[in-house]
Amino acid sequence: FKCHVFRVGYCQPLFECNSSCKCPTTCPNRVVQKGLSIKLQVFRTASKGWGVKTLEHIDQNQFVCEYAGEIITYKEAKKRAKGLSGVTGQYIIVLREHQTGNQVLRTHIDSQLHGNVARFINHSCCPNLFMTAVRVNSIIPRLALFAAVDIEEGEELCFDYAGNGYEYTCDGQSKNEVSKFTDIKIRKTPCLCEKSNCRTYLPFDSKLFCAESDF
């Protein structure tokens, strides 16, 4: 498909109908809570290890699957991040939600030991999926993956680990300033998406790897 760069500003959180609602289970605002309904297959890619492809057509904006895993604290995420590399794989997703008063709510989800099929979905700088925070019966968000474009049967699924097309930096710093983090192992993990807009390396949340005094 033609590569589109998704720059939609800050992604708005979604709230689905829940147990407090009087609507039926057929309510159109009950989607993510119903779980996976698309036929997906884990397969061995040529150069990226395991990947996931769809066994049926997926319409644009259709829910695909949830990125499930352990919800861990910031302290635990920093501890686990130290052991990540291109060999071990990268499974920690950091969701940052900006609130009033410049407050940032961080949610850390690690699918390395406990997860679902989404843990095998590879990164791409030009993805066919996008991730959105969805809440159902809890303030804790669920990370839902939706189709960014129409996806044909047999296509590999991928999403941008940095978010909806955002350039990855050190929590707001410029690309020039990112050089001071080049000694971090995970920073040197190459991106293998081979897209025209490839950013060379996999994105990462620098705050998990740096001392608090660096910010």
Digitized pLDDT (tens) for each residue of the chain, 215 residues in all: 444 444 444 566 789 999 999 999 999 999 999 999 999 999 999 989 999 999 999 999 999 999 999 999 988 888 888 776 555 566 788 888 877 777 778 889 998 888 899 999 999 999 999 999 999 999 899 999 999 999 999 999 999 988 643 333 333 333 444 444 444 544 567 888 988 888 888 777 767 766 554 43
The pLDDT assigned to 182 comes to: 45
The candidate with the shortest Cα–Cα distance to 189, out of 175, 203, 176, 178, is: 203
Active site residue 161: yes
Angle at 52 between CA 48 and CA 45, to 5 degrees: 30
Q: What are phi and psi of 37, to 5 degrees?
A: -130, -5
**Alpha helix ranges (H) inside the chain:** 74-81
Active-site hit among 10, 74, 91, 161: 161
Question: What six digits make up the tokens of 201?
Answer: 């390396």
Active site residue 67: yes
Active-site hit among 67, 74, 91, 166: 67
The pLDDT assigned to 209 comes to: 64
The pLDDT assigned to 168 comes to: 37
Distance separating alpha carbons of residues 149 and 129, to the nearest angstrom: 7
